[in-house]
Each structure stands twice: as C-alpha cells, then as structure tokens.
Structure 1
Amino acid sequence: MNILLPLEGFFLLIVIGIIFYLLTPRRYQSSDSVANSYDEWTEDGILEFYWGEHIHLGHYGLPPRKKDFLQAKTDFVHEMVKWGDLDKLPSGTTVLDVGCGIGGSSRILARDYGFAVTGITISPQQVKRAQELTPPEVNAKFQVDDALALSFPDNSFDIVWSVEAGPHMEDKALFAKELMRVLKPNGILVVADWNQRDDRSIPLNFWEKSVMKQLLDQWSHPAFSSIEEFAELLTATSRVKGEVITDDWTIQTLPSWLDSIWQGIAKPSGLICFGVSGFIKSLREIPTILLMRIAFGFGLCRFGMFKAVKSS
C-alpha cells in the first residue's frame, strides 16, 4: 500500500483546495448572493476563528511595522477614527456602521468612544453573531438592512461609517446617495474601501482584467470603483459641504494579506476544530488572498479612504 507522507498529503490538500476554488466561484448575482455568502462564512465560524471579530484589513503604520494580526485590525478602527476627526466628538454621538459584519468596529466605537452605534448588515447570521458578541452594557445594536435602500429616515445619524462594504454594492451611485441621505446636516461620513486603479486614465490590460475578474467572482463583488470615481459619486449627491477628502492606505494595510494566510499556519488547532473539510475550505481562499496581495502590491487595487461632511 502506498501511504502518503505528511508533506505529500499537505500538498495534496492544497491541490484539492485550489480545485475547489476554481470549481466553486461565488459570483455576484444579487444582494441575496452576498447575504448567503456571509451567512455561510458566519455559520461555519472559520472566518471568525482566523480573522477574529474584525472582518477587515489591519493597519500596520507608515512605514509598516510588524504587528499581531488581530491587533492591527483593532488599530485600524482607532486610526480611522483619528483620520476622520471623530475622536473630537462627544459621548452619545450617533453612528450608523454600514456593513458592520459581526460588530467588531461597532463595539469599539461604542465602548472606547461612547458613541451610540447602530450596525447594519445584509446577513441575518452576522446580526445574530454580533448580538451574541456584544455585552449589554455596550451601546451597540444590530439589524438586517440593505445599504442600497436604508430603512432610516433622512438626517438620522451624526456619523455614517463603512469599512470594506462598497465592493459588494452593485449601484455605487445609489450607495453614495444613501450614505449621505441618512447623515445629519454637518454630520461626518467616513468610508474605507477596496478600490481598483482608475482605468479611465490607465486602462486595464488583458492580465489585469483577468485578475480583476477573479477578485470579483470569488468574493461576491459586482464591481470595484476607483478612489476618484467614488469621490465623484459622493460629490454628485449635492449633499457634500466643501470637498470630499480622500487618502490611500494601501501601504498601511498591505501586510494583512500575507498575515491572513499565516494565521492558518499559526493556528493549527483550526484543523482539529473544523476538520479536513474546513481546512480545504480555508485553503480555497488562499488563491484569492494571494491575488489580492498582488493586485494591491502592484497598484491594480488601492485601499481608499473617504471623508465627507454633509451640507447644512
């Protein structure tokens, strides 16, 4: 009998993971396909096990320095608060966290800054998990809602906050309008998002289009906007006081991609918790993560930051 050596078996699992990746794309079909993807990721617990309560990239400083993967994610929230000048706002300030995931950012905003936070996601399972993770004394509540048709009236929140939700939005112009609509006059919008290079100035070549297609198809993304395009869409709402402020945090967040892969090695107990099938599901994500690292590392993608104040 030919028994595979441990190393051979490991590489066989990698091959199986890559085949699974190629045969099971998660193409965007509607908002339901996004909700279903996040429901699945939340129910199996694999993403939370490796990425913690923050399903977004970390902030490693400028220039980047070595950090604990989970600490970098917490640091990202605090850096975004400072970048948006939100730390100057009083306790009780109302916040809408659009695309809140399982509530990691919402809990920090409520606990560390005294804000009254409402987190929304299109995934019922994420809402359920966010509620489970949030102590009663933390002023953060969660509900299912559609960011393209928010259930809140005009002028509802002092701050509208969103991290890495934009790529899932099919209609970027409507997304911009809804974010600004529910913001109070003189309120502050702060958004962090994955963006592609502005192809109006430098069109994507054949290989770049191929990479972008994989990044869209594998994680239920209909499209990426560029930093320039989304800033223009915010301005086009005619609700922005002054100019939309933008920044590029690609360098600060870039180590997150390889660090996320390293978590699978640093936490071998995941194989015990989730079994071989869970391990293969984890391997399935590695090609997309590597493509993300390549895209962000070579300027095809950029990590965009946006700040806008609503006109009175």
Structure 2
Amino acid sequence: MSTSLVYFVIGSLIVLLIGIAAYFLTARKYQSSATVANSYDLWTLDGILEFYWGEHIHLGHYGSPPRRKDFLAAKSDFVHEMVKWGGLDKLPPGTTVLDVGCGIGGSSRILARDYGFAVTGITISPQQVKRAQELTPDGLNVQFAVDDAMALSFPDASFDVVWSIEAGPHMPDKAVFARELMRVLKPGGILVVADWNQRDDRQKPLNFWEKPVMRQLLDQWSHPAFSSIEGFSELLTATGLVEGEVITADWTQETLPSWLDSIWQGIARPEGLVRFGLSGFVKSVREVPTLLLMRLAFGTGLCRFGMFRAVRTNSRTELMDRNFAKETPSSSVR
C-alpha cells in the first residue's frame, strides 16, 4: 500500500471519528420548551430546512401502496389526505381551525386557501411565526401567534377543528397535551392529529438495539418522548371529552419514502451547497444519521406514523365535572 493511500485512509478515519463525535456531542436534547423553540428558531433563520423541505416541515403522503412522487408535492398531498381522512372536507367555509405546531404555516395556508377555513396557527418558535407571516399572502384568512401547546392561551370551546401534525413528540406530558387539544374544541368539534409514534412497549418492550436508536431519535431533535398510537388514544379518551371512540390509523407505509427522499434532496439539488456554503453543507450532512435512523425505526416497526380523530362530546357535563373536581379539595370529593 502506498504512503499516500495510507495517509488518505488514516485521514478519512480521523474525519469520520470527528464527525461521529460531533454528532453525539452536539445533540439537541430536550430540556424545556425553550430548547424546542430555540431549535426551530435556528432551523428557520438559516433557511436550510425550508430550502430542502419547502413550506411543509412534515412528511409526505405517497399513496397506498406508495408510489414515486415529487418530495414537495407529497407534502402538500399529505395535507389534503389528512383533510379527507378526518372528514374536514365536508365542513363549510368559515370553519374555525387551530393548527397546533403550525411551523412556517404551510398546512394553515392550504386549509384557508383550498377549503375556506378561518385558521389560527400557533408555534412555540417566534422565528417560525415571523416566517409564516412573510409567506402568507394578503387576504388569506390565516393568523399566526406564539403559543405553548402545553398551556394554550385560548378559552374552552374556541374552535370547530383542532389540527396538529408531528408536534406531539415535543410535548413532555402527553396527557396534558391531549387535554389541551380537546379543551379548546367546541362541542361537536373535530380533532385530527398526525404524529410520530413509538411501538407500544407495554406489549413488546424495546430490545437491545432499539433502546439506543430511540435515544438518538429523542436527543437529536429535542424530543422528550414518543407516545404509542394506543397510548395517546387512551389519553384522549381519558380526558372525558371524547364522543364515542377515538379513531386511529397507521400511515407508516404511506409516509415511509419521505426519509430517504429528504436525504436525496441534498444530492438532487446541489445548488444548496452554493447558496448556504460550507457551514450549510456541514449542517445538512449532520442531519443524515438521524434521518437514516428514522428510516430504520419506521421501517422495522420500532416507530409508527399514527393518525388520530376524535369528536368533542356535545355535552358540557364532563367539563363541568372536571372543573369541579379540580377546584374542590380532595378530602371533600366522594
């Protein structure tokens, strides 16, 4: 083996080791809502995520069975498929919608433009609100605000529809999140949620390789925990505000191509390297291991893409009982 080749191999191994060390040492672990807000502020300010993922910072829908599709078109299609699945296409113009975890407003704009809904988008990131406002044309019935999904600032029974895509993994207390989503729905209103979920480990515990993979999926993107489809459905029911049953579906196969497609964008659109320079290239490459781990997790059943639909009970009795229980000393509750 020539000396130059030896130096090349050694140099490559050093770079690889430095890259691996940097990946683990610079993890964006969840500490509080502030760390989530800060992560999204930074991703919004540098513009890289928007350049490659477009205005929809969520996965795409590739059909059932999945077929080849443009990455950005699949994301837009996801919104329309979610509308149909949730039965929202049957609602009249002017229906009030709260988009929880709206990102830079891609879904909110579609809901307002294509369905005539009056949409309020909320996110914990001030920079996302600013960018969402910049991208929204005048005359569209959409407004954006900074708000915390763990303690929504809206009164009880404020919206006809509550909508949320891939926000749940950032919530530290899934029961509180479920309660807030249902609380702000009007009686008879519809909740539609799409989320990344973990396999229900009460039925099948995580094994030796799944635990470290899940740890990285949590730590790299400021996630405190993933719920399971079964677990979150139970939490929604436990609010006492659901009419009938929570409807669920598994869209893992429909969304699975998104993970590799997102990596392919960096190859298919090399102009990003010119636009964002070396630092942008490093930032983009840094996300590849997490994207590959996501593909592994969803492809092997460790993770599932869950859909949830619930209707707020028409009766206000449950909410009155809950408020009474909260305000009454436990010693006097029978």
Secondary structure of residue in 2 paired with 1:243: coil
Q: Which residue of 2 aligns with 1:41?
A: 43
Task: Say if 2:171 is the partner of 1:169.
Answer: yes
Task: Establish whether residue 60 from structure 1 lines up as the match of residue 57 from structure 2.
Answer: no
Q: Identify the residue that residue 133 of structure 2 maps to in structure 1.
A: 131
Deviation sequence 1:203-261 (CA, Å, 0-9, x none): 11121111000000000000000000000000000000000000000000000000000
Task: Map 1:162-311 to 2 at 5 A.
Answer: 162-311=164-313
> What pairs with 1:64-79 in structure 2 (closer than 5 Å)?
64-79=66-81
Aligned length: 310
Counterpart amino acid of residue 297 in structure 1: G
1:136 CA drift (Å) = 1.0
Report the residue type matching 1:200 in the other structure.
Answer: R
Q: What one-letter code is carried by the residue in structure 1 that aligns with 2:58?
A: H
Q: In the TM superposition, what are the counterparts of 1:139-178 in structure 2 within 5 Å?
A: 139-178=141-180
Aligned pairs (5 A) from 1:11-22:
17-22=19-24
State the distance in 2 between where 1:13 and 1:179 align: 46
When normalised by structure 1's length, the TM-score is: 0.96
Match of 1:91? 93
**Matched AA of 1:158:** D
In structure 2, relative to structure 1, the CA distance for the partners of 1:289 and 1:11 (3 Å cut) is farther
Residue 67 to residue 108, structure 1, CA distance change in 2 (3 Å): same
Deviation, structure 1 residue 20? 2.8
What one-letter code is carried by the residue in structure 2 that aligns with 1:58?
Answer: G
Alpha-carbon spacing, 1:246–1:277, altered in 2? closer, same or farther (3 Å): same
Unmatched 5+ stretches in structure 2: 5-9, 315-334
**Does the residue aligned with 1:54 lie in a helix, a strand or coil?**
coil
Matching residue of 1:5: none
Tell me: CA distance 1:92–1:40, structure 2 relative to 1, closer, same or farther (3 Å).
same
TM-aligned CA deviation for residue 138 of structure 1: 1.1
Deviation at 1:19, TM superposition (A): 4.0
Measure, in 2, the Cα distance between the counterparts of 1:14 and 1:54: 32
State the distance in 1 between where 2:287 and 2:187 align: 42
Rounded Cα–Cα distance in structure 2 between residues aligned with 1:212 and 1:271: 30
Bigger radius of gyration = 2
Q: Percent identity?
A: 79
- TM-score in terms of structure 2 length: 0.89
Match of 1:100 in 2: 102
SS at match of 2:93: coil
Local SS of the residue matching 2:281: helix
- Number of the residue aligned with 2:320: none
For the residue of structure 2 that corresponds to 1:131, the secondary structure is: helix
Secondary structure class of the residue paired with 1:241: coil
In the TM superposition, what is the alpha-carbon distance from 1:37 to its structure 2 partner? 0.2
RMSD: 2.1
